[in-house]
């Protein structure tokens, strides 16, 4: 069972050293289920990421506020960990909840943005943008 974003935030609060935090991000990525090879298509690729990042979206439930489930993967260890954090934040939530979630506040709470390279930070923003775009599309 994947960790919730609240559990991840709590775990980060116990780690002071940024090298250890990076190791934790990598570990989160290792625990993320691999995306099937057939899902690694150009359609599922997240544009704006330096590393290869793929994201699939499944929409279920009430058409007025559907639930979205995401799966993702990356060819880079740290980025795959960032994918895991994004999925913990958004997957399994309703479209309206996704659109109302302040991802920047969550990543600031973890302190992650201050320690990411500009390329990784841009990639993370691209991934969140894709998730929010999919939520908007699901609402029609």
pLDDT tens for residues 40-91? 999 999 998 788 999 999 999 988 999 999 999 999 999 999 999 999 999 9
Quick one: pLDDT at residue 108?
Answer: 86
Q: Give bridge partners of residue 55 from the DSSP assignment.
A: 72
Task: Give the three-state DSSP class for 46.
Answer: coil
Quick one: pLDDT at residue 113?
Answer: 75
Average pLDDT of every residue of the chain = 93
- Choosing from 8, 49, 95, 138, the catalytic residue is 49
Quick one: pLDDT at residue 118?
Answer: 83
Q: CATH for 5-138, among 3.40.190.10, 3.90.1150.10, 3.90.1010.10, 3.20.20.80?
A: 3.90.1010.10
The residue ranges of every structural domain in the chain are 5-138
Quick one: pLDDT at residue 73?
Answer: 97
Question: Is 53 within 8 Å of 74 (Cβ atoms)?
Answer: yes
Using the structure block, give the residue that is written with the tokens 């929409």: 59
Quick one: pLDDT at residue 140?
Answer: 84
Prediction pTM value = 0.94
Distance CA 128, CA 89 (A): 10
Active site residue 12: no
Using the structure block, give the residue that is written with the tokens 């359609």: 43
């Amino acid at each position: 069972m994947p960790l919730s974003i609240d559990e991840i935030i709590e775990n980060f609060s116990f780690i002071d050293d940024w090298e250890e935090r990076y190791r934790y991000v990598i570990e989160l990525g290792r625990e993320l289920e691999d995306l099937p090879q057939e899902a690694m298509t150009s359609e599922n690729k997240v544009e704006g990421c330096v590393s290869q990042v793929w994201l699939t979206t499944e929409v279920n439930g009430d058409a007025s506020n559907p639930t979205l489930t995401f799966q993702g993967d990356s060819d880079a260890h740290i980025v795959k960990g960032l994918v895991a954090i994004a999925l913990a934040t958004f997957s399994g939530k309703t479209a309206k909840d996704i659109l109302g979630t302040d991802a920047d506040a969550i990543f600031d709470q973890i302190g992650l943005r201050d320690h990411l390279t500009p390329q990784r930070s841009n990639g993370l923003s691209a991934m969140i943008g894709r998730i929010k775009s999919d939520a908007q599309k699901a609402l029609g």
